Amino acid sequence: MYITGLSGSIKRQQGVSVLGVLIILALLSFFLTVSIRLLPSWFEGRAVKNAIVSVAEASNSEQSLRDITRRLESTLNTNRIEAIASRDIKVYRDEGKIIIDANYETRTPLFRNVDAVLMFNDNVVVID
């Protein structure tokens, strides 16, 4: 007994071609490589943010700028943060408030002469 309806639908069902599999693998490997290279810098950026927030929470606007800077240096050293040097973090007074500005950018090599630049522009904390 021969069923014509099944043979027609089986012939139309094709799998992914070898070229399609290679393209999918190339895209997956590209995004995996980019993720592996960028994630450490991103995590260190979050660590910088957490460090300045913890210093700001433990400080008040009556403290000297030098005391806050020392506490910030200590926190960065304790957490082994190397993405930004303590001398690059600006601590200053503005209208009776202390502002900690730790905005920075980092460059990460991806492939040969292609680099990615991560900008951390949300690292500003105001101490009232």
pLDDT score at 14: 73
Residue 31 lies in a domain: yes
Number of domains in the chain: 1
- Owning domain of residue 117: 16-127
* Dist. CA 127–CA 65, nearest whole Å: 11
* Dist. CA 117–CA 88, nearest whole Å: 18
Residue 101 lies in a domain: yes
Q: How many CA atoms lie within 13 A of 89 on its CB side?
A: 31
Residue 11 lies in a domain: no
pLDDT score at 8: 54
In the structure, what pLDDT confidence band is assigned to residue 3 with cuts at 50, 70 and 90? low
Q: pTM for the complete prediction?
A: 0.77
C-alpha dihedral sign at 74, 79, 82, 84: negative
Q: Residues 21-49: pLDDT tens digits? A: 999 999 999 999 999 999 999 999 999 99
Residue 32 lies in a domain: yes
Residue 40 lies in a domain: yes
Please give the structure tokens belonging to residue 112.
């040969």
